[in-house]
């Protein structure tokens, strides 16, 4: 499949990714809300929006370079080289990953951690799908109740995903990635990311509210 005006689509993806980044930053704050007596945070929003931001920015980056890249497929480009894409897109992402590793080896690791929190169905072997499944197989994620190993119980992400443990870490991973893309080629794609970072407060100080 070839996309017409693929660069326009890439820019639109980038811009939506930046909007997701703003949503993540706006959610990175302490709140005093309770759900049936239990405190909740917006940390799960920070993590999910950070992950979605990285996904859109990466897809935009790849789409800018090739109009045969299909951004509608896959959600975790750094973890899986996006199934169903043409093989020629894998080297482009491999080169990006290798380049990121050249200066900051933790960056790709953190992006993969971020992707690991995207919701996904539990892995169950085909021959065992008819059996009753234990709740423990539902992995930690930002959208659906999951099994918390620490609490040994099922938790909702609004209660289990923590602001300092997860939110700050996720937002830092996103911010570092944005900084790299903002300094990278092609300038038509990256320069406005750099401008975005100059104009929006991106601190991870959770008591500061960005204006």
Partner 1 sequence: MPSQLSAPLEERSELAEEVRAKDRILMPMLFEHSQTARALWDLAEDDRRRDVLTLVLTDRWGSAACDFAPEELSNEELFRSRVYDLIGEMIMPRRTGVLRVRVELRDAFAPVDQLEQLRRRLGQIQSIGLARLRLHNQVRFVPQRPNHFLLTNFAIEVDEQFASPVRDAVVECGFQVREDPWLIQREGLREALMQLVDQHRRDGQPNPDFALCFRLQDRETIHLLEVSAEAPELGDGSLSGVGFSALGVVPYAHSIKIYLIHANDLQTAFRVNREHQLFNDIRNDNCEFLLPDDRGEAFRQAFPDLQRA
Contact between 183 and partner 1 per CB under 8 A:
yes
Examine residue 171 and say whether the peptide bond preceding it is cis (omega within 30 degrees of 0): no
DSSP 49-62: HHHHHHHHHHHHHH
Contact between 91 and partner 1 per CB under 8 A:
yes
Q: Please identify which residue in 105, 128, 152, 198 interacts with partner 1, judged by CB under 8 A.
A: 105
Contact between 101 and partner 1 per CB under 8 A:
yes
Q: Please identify which residue in 68, 99, 165, 203 interacts with partner 1, judged by CB under 8 A.
A: 99
What's the burial of 173, exposed, middle or buried (CB within 10 Å: 0-12/13-18/19+)?
buried
For the CB of residue 102, give the shortest distance to partner 1 in the complex, in Å.
Answer: 5
Using the minimum distance from each CB to partner 1, give the nearer residue, 2 or 102.
102
Residue 39: how many other CB atoms lie within 10 Å: 11
Q: Which residues contact 124 (CB under 8 A, 6 or more apart)?
A: 133, 137
Bridge partners, residue 147, by sequence? 154
Using the minimum distance from each CB to partner 1, give the nearer residue, 23 or 181.
181
Q: Which residues bind partner 1 (CB under 8 A)?
A: 65-66, 88, 90-92, 94-96, 98-105, 179-180, 182-186, 190
């Amino acid at each position: 499949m070839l996309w017409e005006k693929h660069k326009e689509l890439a820019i639109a993806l980038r811009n939506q990714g930046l909007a997701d980044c703003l949503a993540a930053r706006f959610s990175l704050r302490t709140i005093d809300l309770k759900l049936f007596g239990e405190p909740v945070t917006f940390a799960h929003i920070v993590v999910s929006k950070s992950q979605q931001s990285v996904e859109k920015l990466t897809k935009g980056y790849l789409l800018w370079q090739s109009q045969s890249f299909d951004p509608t497929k896959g959600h975790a480009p750094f973890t899986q080289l996006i199934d169903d894409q043409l093989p020629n897109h894998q080297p482009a992402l491999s080169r990006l990953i290798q380049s990121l590793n050249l200066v900051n080896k933790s960056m790709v690791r953190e992006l993969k951690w971020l992707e690991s929190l995207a919701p996904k169905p539990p892995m169950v072997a085909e021959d065992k799908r008819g059996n009753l499944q234990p709740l423990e197989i539902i992995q930690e994620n930002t959208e659906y109740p999951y099994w918390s190993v620490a609490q040994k119980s099922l938790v909702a992400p609004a209660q289990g995903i923590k602001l300092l443990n997860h939110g700050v870490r996720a937002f830092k991973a996103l911010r570092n990635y944005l900084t790299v893309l903002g300094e990278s080629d092609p300038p038509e794609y990256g320069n406005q990311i750099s401008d975005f970072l100059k104009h929006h407060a991106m601190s991870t100080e959770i008591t500061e509210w960005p204006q």
